[in-house]
Amino acid sequence: MAELDTSSGGSHKKGPGVKKGKKLSTRIDLTPMVDLGFLLITFFMYTTTLAKPKTMEINMPFKDKNMTEEQKSKVKSSTALTVLLSKDHRIYTYAGIGDDPTKPPVLDPINITKSTVGLRKVIIAKKQEIDQLKQSGVLTPTDQITVLIKPDTNSTYKDMVDVFDEMTINDVKVYAKVDITNQDRDFIKKTQEANGIQ
């Protein structure tokens, strides 16, 4: 009995001595998968939240054309607040610039291991003091707080960044990182001895 050959799409009869037709290979066209891949990549790019870089705003120095060279580097002691960074996450603050050896400043020790609220209170109190001096006429309306940040060699980079953050939080426009002096180190040593700090 003859069989029908449907492999070539016809209805030819297969009889004795007739060769079998070639089988067609099943090939899947993957060209549309390329488009689907790009669609998925685009989808995930738009829906994924990219990591935001941590940046710190820097207040650029104020430039006055009428200011002399002597006035540029001059800091009023009444508007200055000095912050000394020491070991074990301790910072010490005092009003002024500590340039009078006959009247050594009284250092206020603050530990910023857990919080910088203590430093924030000192900055706010100094700003209020400057506002009162402006109202009484001792300072001019353009005078503002000037913070001198002096990290010691045994202080940490994290503590310095925390102090810079406090400048931004408290809207301190004029602040600078200054090299610590041996006199400042002596102030820290005497304060530690007076408070029983090793």
Angle formed by the axes of helices 117-136 and 157-169, nearest 10° = 40
The pLDDT confidence band at residue 1, using thresholds 50, 70 and 90, is very low
Distance CA 163, CA 3 (A): 93
- For residue 151, tell me if it sits in a domain: yes
User: Do the bridges between strand 108-111 and strand 174-177 make them parallel or antiparallel, or are there none, so unpaired?
Assistant: unpaired
- For residue 27, tell me if it sits in a domain: no
- For residue 11, tell me if it sits in a domain: no
The pLDDT confidence band at residue 141, using thresholds 50, 70 and 90, is confident
Distance CA 172, CA 145 (A): 7
Are the C-beta atoms of 105 and 95 separated by less than 8 Å?
yes
Domain enclosing residue 187, as ranges? 74-195
- Is the pLDDT reported for residue 107 higher than 60? yes
pTM across the whole model: 0.62
**169: domain CATH number?**
3.30.420
- For residue 112, tell me if it sits in a domain: yes
- Is the pLDDT reported for residue 144 higher than 60? yes
- For residue 164, tell me if it sits in a domain: yes
User: Do the bridges between strand 90-95 and strand 80-85 make them parallel or antiparallel, or are there none, so unpaired?
Assistant: antiparallel
pLDDT of residue 17: 58
- The per-residue pLDDT for range 37-96, each reduced to its tens digit, is 888 998 888 887 766 666 655 555 555 556 555 555 556 788 889 999 988 888 888 888
Q: Quick one: which of 86, 63, 76, 89 has its CA closest to 147?
A: 76
Question: What 3-state DSSP class applies to 28?
Answer: coil
Question: What is the mean predicted confidence (pLDDT) over 156-176?
Answer: 89
Selection from 1-5, 47-51, 60-64, 167-171 with the highest mean pLDDT: 167-171
- For residue 126, tell me if it sits in a domain: yes
Higher pLDDT, 3 or 65: 65
Please count the structural domains in the chain.
1
- For residue 20, tell me if it sits in a domain: no
Are the C-beta atoms of 148 and 82 separated by less than 8 Å?
yes
- Is the pLDDT reported for residue 8 higher than 80? no
